[in-house]
Amino acid sequence: MPYFKYHVFVCTNQRKEGSCCADLGAENARSYLKKRCKELGIHGKGQVRINNAGCLDRCEQGPVLVIYPEGTWYTYIDREDLDEIITRHLQHGQIVERLTI
């Protein structure tokens, strides 16, 4: 059994040139995901882990995050998108097709 059911990596990379996830509010998104998962009681060993990631090399599709073990890649615009990822994917195991990249 894996240590975490889902491991979420949120790109928070800051580039000197060009578009990057950090410029699109990625750190706030990561903080929100972590806070919300804790509020829902789904954060921690055997459940969900939210982590920062360096560049995930998909800047043109950013901001981005990836969820393992499936390796599902998402982009998002706002907290409503993040809430949908939390509810559908992290709580119910359903991929949010409209946000996949």
> pTM here?
0.94
The correct answer on CATH 3.30.40.10 for the domain covering 6-99 is no
**Tens digits of per-residue pLDDT, 56-90?**
999 888 899 999 999 999 999 999 999 999 999 99
Closest Cα partner for 56 from 48, 64, 44? Answer: 64
Q: Which helix (H) or strand (E) holds 52?
A: strand 48-53
pLDDT of residue 71: 97
pLDDT at 1 over 70: no
**Tens digits of per-residue pLDDT, 14-59?**
888 778 899 999 999 999 999 999 999 999 999 999 999 999 999 8
